[in-house]
Structure 1
Amino acid sequence: MSTEIDTAELGEKIVKVLKSIYDPEIPVDIYELGLIYDVFVNEDYEVKILMTLTTPNCPVAETLPLEVEEKVKSLDMVKDAEVEITFDPPWSQDLMSEEAKLELGML
C-alpha cells in the first residue's frame, strides 16, 4: 500500500480554498491577484503558504493571513497550516492573472 500522499490533489483543494478568499478592496480572489507566492505540503499534511499583501499597510494585514490559515486548516487532509507573509518581491499588478486583469478592466 502506498503511503505517498497525492499532493497534486491536495494542492488543487488548497487552491480552491484560496480562490474563495477575496481581497476586500479588490473584487478578485487572492489567488488570481497573485498574492500567493508558494504553497508547500509536507508528508505530514502540514501546509505552509508564502503570500504577500497588496501593500504592507493593507487594512486586512492582520485578518487575511488568519483567514487563509483557518480555511486551509478546515480541509480534511490538512493537519496544520501556516501562513508566512513576505514583501520580497513586493506585489505588483504584473502578478495578477489574465482573469483578474480582465475582471478589473485592465486588458
Structure 2
Amino acid sequence: MSDINTAEDSEELGEKIVKVLKTIYDPEIPVDIYELGLIYDVLVNEDNEVKILMTLTSPNCPVAETLPVEVEEKVKSLNAIKDAEVEITFDPPWTQDLMSDEAKLELGML
C-alpha cells in the first residue's frame, strides 16, 4: 500500500472519529464535546489504536467518570478501530475561548 492511500485512509478515519465525537454531548450544555473544545488531540497509530486527549469543563464535572468511558466506547464501535483510550487533562484548563463559533452561536454567545 502506498503512503498516499494510508494518508487518505487515516484522514477518512479521523473524519469518522470526529463524527462520533460530535454525537456525544456534555449533559449540562446542549453542545457536543467536539464543538465545545473539550477534545485537545486525537492520535491514531498504524494499528488503528486511538488515543484521545480531552478535558472537561471543570475538574468537578458531574460526568467526569462516565464521559471518558462513553467516548472510548463510541470510538471503539467504529469498525476500523482496534482500541481507544481517553486521557483526561486539565492543562491547559478549558475556557469558553476553546468553543467553536458554532457552539458559541448555539449558546447565544455570538
The two structures have a TM-score, normalised by structure 1, of: 0.97
**Identity among equivalent pairs (%):** 86
Counterpart of 2:22 in structure 1: which amino acid?
K
CA distance in 2, matches of 1:36, 1:7: 18
Structure 2: which 5+ residue stretches go unaligned? Answer: none
Shift of 1:70: 0.1
Give the distance between the partners of 2:65 and 2:22, measured in 1 at CA: 19
Query: Of the candidates 6, 10, 15, which is equivalent to residue 4 of structure 1?
Result: 6
1:105 correspondence with 2:71: no
TM-score when normalising by structure 2:
0.94
- Answering whether residue 82 of structure 2 is matched by residue 82 of structure 1, we say no
- Equivalent position to 1:22, from 14, 22, 25: 25
Residue 66 (str. 1) matches residue 69 (str. 2) = yes
Q: For the residues of structure 2 that align with 1:7 and 1:92, how far apart are their CA atoms?
A: 29
- RMSD, aligned CA: 1.1
Q: Give the superposition deviation at 1:101.
A: 0.1
Aligned residues: 107
User: What is the DSSP-based 3-state SS (H/G/I as helix, E as strand, rest coil) of the residue aligned with 1:22?
Assistant: coil
Offset, 1:4: 3.0
CA distance in structure 1 between the aligned counterparts of 2:88 and 2:15, rounded to whole angstroms: 21
Give 1:96 shift. Answer: 0.1
Partner Cα distance (2:86, 2:20) in 1: 14
Query: Deviations 1:7-52 (Å, cap 9, x if unpaired)?
Result: 1000000000000000000000000000000000000000000000
Partner SS, residue 68 of structure 1: helix
Shift >4 Å, 4+ stretches: none
Secondary structure in structure 1 of the residue aligned to 2:6: coil
Considering fraction of residues, name the structure with more helix.
2
User: Counterpart of 1:10 in structure 2: which amino acid?
Assistant: L
